[in-house]
Structure 1
Amino acid sequence: MKRLIDFSASLIGIIILSPIFIITALLVRVKLGKYILFKQERPGLNGVPFYVYKFRTMNDKRDSFGDLLPDSVRLTSFGQTLRKYSLDELPQLFNVLKGDISLVGPRPLLMDYLVLYTPEQARRHLVRPGITGWAQVNGRNAISWEEKFKLDVWYVDNQSLWLDVKILMMTVLKVLKSEGISQQGHATIEKFSGKKNDTAM
């Protein structure tokens, strides 16, 4: 049932939001260059990798050695606006359509984190990841990794259609209020180090 809802809702969303897709893509092309989409491998259901898609929010500026500058330097004001209203996440509706992710579920993080999780934290991969999730509507990037993973695992144990509807409604409010977009001192949030007492402001 959830997969059917995901497929139907993402297809309808893509059709209805197609003007926003087109306008955003054109703006990204003009302001950030020819590569419109950001593609990165992420772990999906049971940790199986897939490629997640987003609209680019950063430029490709590099230092004298050819290495990319820190995210905080490459994140443009235009990119910040896209993130503020979660417009950069729109291409993930195609990931939902394909079945890589769900509308609601734990956010797909970096592949590098897989070896850092405790067995309890790794349970977040027992369900499909999502565009939004219980952790996103309860702090997003403003809470610690430890808190975020506890919320993800809570969702795994308590998922239901009603909870998904509740999370989607809360997501709309969070986006409108632009809450929890980034951690203090970071473009988004500091990388997960695997420390069990990892804290964030």
Structure 2
Amino acid sequence: MRRALDLLGAGLAALLLAPVIAATAVFVRATLGGPVLFRQERAGRHGEPFTLVKFRSMRDGPGNDAERLTAAGRFLRSTSLDELPALWNVLRGEMSLVGPRPLPVSYLPRYSDEQRRRHDVRPGITGLAQVRGRNALSWEEKFAYDLEYVRNRSLGLDLRILAETVRTVLRRDGITAAGAATSHEFQGVRR
């Protein structure tokens, strides 16, 4: 049933947001050039890799995230417009609308056994950590919310998270971590 709801929700969202998706693609092309899409290997359910698709928000080339993130990119991230292409990942079955955010495959060996449980479910476009603080949270807080979601996953919780996501995006809460252009890299479990 969850998969059917993901297909229905992602399909309807892609259809209703098609003009916004097209306009965002034109905006990215005009402000950053090509390619319009950013692709990166992320860890999915059971840690299986898949290619996440987002709108590009950074310039290519050397430099850290703060140096490569443009004003246009900050706008895309603050409004979450950069996430819209991930609806394709939901339609393909690699992601769900709600679940822990997919993180880079390179993080897999850095998790504790408990943190690794976040991969017991499909990753999501939004999740409990996103509506509780997004990038403003510490990694420990993010993982605690991810695991709370995994333990208590239900249709009701998903619907509450989707509703809270709209409010979070409109208020542009928690877009960046303190002292970072986006989020600090996860360094792994402290020994």
TM-score class, shorter: over 0.9
Q: TM-score, normalised by structure 2?
A: 0.98
Quote how far apart the aligned CAs of 1:55 are: 0.3
Paired letter, 2:187: S
Alignment of 1:59 onto 2:53: no
Within 5 Å, give how 1:148-187 maps onto structure 2: 148-187=142-181
- Secondary structure at the aligned position of 2:135 is classed as helix
- Say if 1:146 and 1:196, in contact at 8 Å, map to a contact too: no
Gapped regions of structure 2 (runs ≥ 5): none
Quote how far apart the aligned CAs of 1:112 are: 1.0
Q: Distance in 2 between matches of 1:84 and 1:32?
A: 17
- Say if 2:101 and 2:124, in contact at 8 Å, map to a contact too: yes
Paired residues in the alignment total 191
1:106-134 CA-partner distances (Å, limit 9, x unpaired): 00001111001000000000000000001
Q: Distance in 1 between matches of 2:30 and 2:145?
A: 39
Q: CA RMSD in A?
A: 1.0
Runs of 4 or more above 4 Å deviation? none
Gapped regions of structure 1 (runs ≥ 5): 63-67
- Secondary structure at the aligned position of 2:128 is classed as coil
Q: Distance in 2 between matches of 1:83 and 1:147?
A: 21
Quote how far apart the aligned CAs of 1:151 are: 0.9
Give the fraction of aligned pairs with identical amino acids, expressed as a percent: 52
Find the partner of 2:99 among 94, 97, 105: 105
Q: Distance in 2 between matches of 1:84 and 1:2?
A: 28
- Say if 1:84 and 1:178, in contact at 8 Å, map to a contact too: yes
Q: Distance in 2 between matches of 1:5 and 1:37?
A: 26
Q: Distance in 1 between matches of 2:136 and 2:15?
A: 32
Alignment of 1:11 onto 2:11: yes
Paired letter, 1:56: R
Quote how far apart the aligned CAs of 1:143 are: 1.1
Alignment of 1:139 onto 2:133: yes
- Say if 2:129 and 2:146, in contact at 8 Å, map to a contact too: yes
Q: Distance in 2 between matches of 1:147 and 1:9?
A: 28
Q: Distance in 1 between matches of 2:167 and 2:20?
A: 19
Q: TM-score, normalised by structure 1?
A: 0.93
Paired letter, 1:37: L
Quote how far apart the aligned CAs of 1:99 are: 0.5
Alignment of 1:25 onto 2:25: yes
Q: Distance in 2 between matches of 1:6 and 1:94?
A: 11
Q: Distance in 2 between matches of 1:134 and 1:24?
A: 26
Q: Distance in 2 between matches of 1:154 and 1:52?
A: 24
Quote how far apart the aligned CAs of 1:189 are: 1.0
- Say if 2:94 and 2:122, in contact at 8 Å, map to a contact too: yes
Determine which structure has more spread, i.e. the larger CA radius of gyration: 1
* Structure 2 match to 1:43: 43
Quote how far apart the aligned CAs of 1:195 are: 3.5
- Secondary structure at the aligned position of 2:119 is classed as helix
Q: Distance in 2 between matches of 1:166 and 1:131?
A: 14
